[in-house]
């Protein structure tokens, strides 16, 4: 069994406060030793990696995404719109998604994430139609070809425009279809082991696209099958108003009513919660994925992430959809989170370490993956190394702070489960040129179908 010492990093942040100034040792898929400054490994090793020009951090964890939206970035009809009109402009385009488009967009999004140092990603796919009945199966195969760990959520929409919802009826399914397929996917693809590369969660889309009944049934199914639950909540004031008008409840009241105040739940966005609702979420052990770039682009508001964290809510970061960001870069998202929280609370109230913690350990907590998110003995060997030799970093003092303050964009080396997936800023297991060509062609076909 080969053993690798990543030695003498420019800086090493473990996420736990433990000292690994002289690197760490990886055997098989685990971290087996942290090496303090001036020390050499106790563990016998047969390979070394000179990290003297790299900042070493845990692999970043993306807690919320929509991979398919990479096909519709900067789409003219959706520009400069808030969430509801933005969705209304894009739903008719997304209704034409097919297997080939989902495969290509999953590969592209995961490649983009991996190149930014992201080793684990959760995707929320909720578009299903006669053209696309088995989207999650397609995503499972696409993810295998890139190599990130994934939590693929079986999204759903059951309440279309004809019954008071926002999405067109063409992308709405029956509750029976949704629940039957959810159970099938869990039994086919959900790997519960600590070393798992693929897990499944259930994710009704949002209060304005699903019924109370579906939310309750998904909660019950998740409990029976022991999987996680995910949805959008508290993203905009429009959503709050919709919930009050449609259900006579604010979103957190709605969450309680459908049985979702539970530790297996994590929410996307979580912007418009009042003080009492933050405490309710904390007591319910519900997590929140902060998506700063998307929230800024759509003008949705500013997540009270630091208050949520102080209250005991699990908080991670997500890039959200590539059509509301319009990128899939996790190290950039950590920078955005740091800047937004500084703007909200003050320059001394959110450090680069706070943002990195949300982007690593926070994400692991959202996804119930305690074996991920930190560099420690026994943890899975998921890590990212960044060089600081670009003009943007010249003159830096603190190399770890420079990652975010100076705007790191691309990792140099990335490891998942002890295997290099990025070397010298290039994918090791996939041809990025081929992925880009097929993704571009799929995007053009999608636009042509929408305009036909």
Per-residue model confidence as pLDDT tens digits over 381-420 = 999 999 999 999 999 999 999 999 999 999 999 999 999 9
- What mean pLDDT comes out for the span 141-157? 97
Q: Hey, which residues does 190 pair with through a beta bridge?
A: none
| 49 — pLDDT class (breaks 50, 70, 90) | very high
Residue 171: pLDDT over 90? no
Residue 301: pLDDT over 80? yes
- Compute the mean pLDDT over every residue in the chain, rounded to the nearest whole number: 96
- What mean pLDDT comes out for the span 249-256? 94
Residue 452: pLDDT over 80? no
366-368-370-374 Cα dihedral, nearest 10 degrees: -30
What's the pLDDT score for residue 34?
98
Contact present, 35 and 238 (Cβ < 8 Å): no
- The helix/strand/coil state of 24 is strand
| 168 — pLDDT class (breaks 50, 70, 90) | confident
For 138, the token pair is: 């397609």
> Judging by DSSP bridges, how do beta strands 413-416 and 383-387 pair with one another?
antiparallel
What's the pLDDT score for residue 169?
86
Q: Whole-angstrom Cα distance, residue 258 to residue 253? A: 9
| All domains in the chain, ordered by first residue | 3-58+379-427 (2.30.40.10), 60-366 (3.20.20.140)
| 242 — pLDDT class (breaks 50, 70, 90) | confident
Question: Does the pTM of the predicted model rise above 0.95?
Answer: yes
Give the closest residue to 171 by CA, choosing from 135, 130, 204, 114: 130
pLDDT digits (tens, 9 = 90+) for 202-227: 999 998 889 999 999 999 999 999 99
- What mean pLDDT comes out for the span 180-195? 97
What is the H or E stretch that residue 422 is in? strand 419-423
Q: Whole-angstrom Cα distance, residue 367 to residue 119? A: 13
Residue 40 has a CB neighbour count (10 Å cut-off) of 12
What's the pLDDT score for residue 262?
94
More confident residue, 355 or 164: 355
């Amino acid at each position: 069994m080969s053993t690798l010492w990543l030695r003498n990093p420019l800086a090493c942040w473990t996420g736990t406060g433990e000292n690994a100034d002289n690197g760490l040792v990886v055997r098989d898929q685990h971290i087996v030793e942290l090496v303090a400054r001036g020390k050499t490994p106790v563990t016998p090793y047969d390979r070394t990696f000179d990290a003297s020009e790299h900042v070493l951090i845990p692999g970043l964890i993306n807690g919320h995404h929509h991979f398919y939206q990479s096909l519709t970035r900067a789409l003219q009809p959706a520009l400069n719109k808030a969430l509801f009109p933005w969705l209304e402009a894009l739903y008719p385009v997304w209704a034409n998604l097919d297997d080939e488009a989902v495969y290509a967009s999953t590969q592209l999004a995961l490649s983009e994430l991996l190149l930014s140092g992201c080793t684990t990603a959760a995707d929320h796919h909720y578009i299903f139609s006669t053209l696309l009945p088995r989207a999650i199966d397609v995503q499972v195969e696409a993810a295998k070809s890139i190599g990130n760990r994934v939590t693929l959520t079986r999204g759903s929409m059951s309440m279309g425009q004809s019954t008071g919802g926002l999405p067109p009826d063409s992308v709405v399914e029956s509750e029976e279809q949704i629940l039957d397929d959810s159970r099938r996917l869990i039994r086919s693809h959900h790997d519960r082991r600590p070393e798992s590369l693929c897990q499944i969660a259930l994710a009704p889309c949002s209060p304005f696209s699903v019924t109370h009944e579906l939310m309750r049934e998904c909660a019950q199914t998740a409990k029976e099958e022991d999987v996680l639950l995910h949805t959008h909540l508290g993203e905009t004031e429009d959503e709050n108003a919709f919930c009050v008008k449609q259900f006579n409840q604010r979103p957190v009241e709605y969450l309680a009513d459908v049985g979702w105040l539970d530790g297996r739940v994590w929410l996307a966005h979580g912007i418009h919660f009042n003080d009492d609702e933050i405490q309710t979420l904390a007591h319910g052990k519900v997590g929140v994925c902060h998506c700063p770039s998307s929230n800024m682009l759509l003008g949705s508001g500013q997540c009270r992430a630091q208050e949520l964290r102080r209250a005991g809510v699990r908080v991670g970061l997500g890039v959200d959809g590539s059509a509301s960001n319009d990128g899939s870069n996790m190290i950039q998202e950590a920078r955005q989170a740091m800047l937004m929280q500084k703007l909200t609370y003050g320059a001394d109230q959110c450090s680069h370490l706070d943002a990195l913690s949300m982007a690593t350990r926070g994400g692991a907590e959202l996804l119930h993956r305690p074996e991920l998110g930190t560099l420690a003995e026994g943890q899975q060997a998921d890590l990212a190394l960044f060089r600081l030799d670009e003009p943007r970093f010249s003159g830096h003092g603190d190399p770890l702070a420079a990652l975010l303050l100076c705007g790191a964009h691309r990792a140099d080396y990335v490891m998942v489960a002890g295997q290099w997936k990025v070397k010298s800023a290039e994918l090791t297991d996939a041809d990025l040129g081929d992925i880009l060509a097929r993704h571009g062609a799929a995007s053009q076909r999608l636009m042509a179908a929408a305009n036909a």
